[in-house]
Chain A
């Protein structure tokens, strides 16, 4: 019984995926659309890609991209078409520009600052540790304690 269930489960997966959405007739064009759509942000539900979103605007934009693919426009041209209308926001990867340098360089700067601070603090701490000489009395006591601990365990 388990096996039958497992087989049914395995078979139903791909069948389901095939029915999910009407795709364009040309699989190559659809592959390009998918490739582009994961790089593009849906403007309505802002944390979804154009590929994931079911918002009507995302559907329209996918249709628009499909048509541009059919017109043999390059990826570059399609992305330019969209950024001219919706701005860089439509791109999941913001381009490196004067206004986005903080975004791109910021994390590395923070990492460098953190690493420097860490090194400085560690060095300072190392300097602070000074040798404290032990007396013979203390030494004997340590030996004794260690020996006792060893017996117990």
Chain B
């Protein structure tokens, strides 16, 4: 009996590790930017190229920065969630149109609705690189001091909004 105890326990440990491995998502790479100041940028606005959108304008506010594109499927999935959140007025969502065509982006927003007070244009993807974006949609929660507090990789869903985003925004707003 003793002879089987050791192999069995090793087997159980290995199965345990593999089991944990199965629950991990390799697409979710922890961002080193959470807890650090959001990178500065100054990008032209989608609806008015003369104007520039910069995170400095939003100091003292808790806000979300959502990287999206009209070519991105996940953004289409996420869009109703953003619309709902914007309508609730709990937190402003600013958009960053990532590597997109300007007219296509505007058509997309006209068709599906525009949850963003301001949309910046990042046609070269440089702002995206500074934020460590590697696939749209990605959403950042930025606090009153301009520090990134949370990064959502992939589409936001109602559950994540209710359980993570809203409580975090409330907590940051009370600070």
The B contact surface, by secondary structure, is: loop
User: Among B29, B32, B33, B125, which residue has its beta carbon within 8 angstroms of that of A60?
Assistant: B125
A-B CB pair tally, cutoff 8 Å: 42
B125 adjacent to A85 (CB under 8 Å): no
A89 adjacent to B125 (CB under 8 Å): no
User: Among A43, A44, A57, A83, which residue has its beta carbon within 8 angstroms of that of B125?
Assistant: A57
CB within 8 Å of A: which of B6-50?
Answer: 26-27, 29-33
B25 to chain A, nearest CB (A): 12
**Which residues of chain B come closer than 8 Å to A56, judged between CB atoms?**
99, 125
Task: Given A60-B129, A61-B129, A64-B129, answer yes or no on A85-B32 (Cβ-Cβ < 8 Å).
Answer: yes
Task: Given A56-B99, A57-B125, A60-B125, answer yes or no on A85-B130 (Cβ-Cβ < 8 Å).
Answer: yes
User: For residue B39, which residue of chain A has the nearest CB?
Assistant: A85
> A132 vs B129: C-alpha distance in the bound complex, in angstroms?
76
> A129 vs B33: C-alpha distance in the bound complex, in angstroms?
63
What is the number of residues of chain B that contact chain A, defined by CB distance less than 8 Å?
A: 18
A84 at the interface (CB under 8 A from B): yes
B26 adjacent to A46 (CB under 8 Å): yes
User: For residue B133, which residue of chain A has the nearest CB?
Assistant: A57
**Which residues of chain B come closer than 8 Å to A61, judged between CB atoms?**
129
CB within 8 Å of B: which of A87-142?
Answer: 87, 89
> A95 vs B130: C-alpha distance in the bound complex, in angstroms?
22
User: Among A83, A85, A87, which residue has its beta carbon within 8 angstroms of that of B129?
Assistant: A85
B139 to chain A, nearest CB (A): 17
> A44 vs B130: C-alpha distance in the bound complex, in angstroms?
16
A84 adjacent to B32 (CB under 8 Å): yes
**Which residues of chain B come closer than 8 Å to A44, judged between CB atoms?**
134-135
B132 at the interface (CB under 8 A from A): yes
B124 at the interface (CB under 8 A from A): yes
CB within 8 Å of A: which of B62-121?
Answer: 99
**Which residues of chain B come closer than 8 Å to A43, judged between CB atoms?**
29, 134-135
**Which residues of chain B come closer than 8 Å to A86, judged between CB atoms?**
29, 31-32, 132, 134
B53 at the interface (CB under 8 A from A): no
A111 to chain B, nearest CB (A): 15
User: For residue B130, which residue of chain A has the nearest CB?
Assistant: A85
CB within 8 Å of A: which of B128-171?
Answer: 128-132, 134-135
B134 adjacent to A87 (CB under 8 Å): no
**Which residues of chain A come closer than 8 Å to B130, judged between CB atoms?**
85
**Which residues of chain B come closer than 8 Å to A60, judged between CB atoms?**
124-126, 128-129
Task: Name the residue among B27, B31, B134, B135 with the largest chain A CB count within 10 angstroms.
Answer: B134
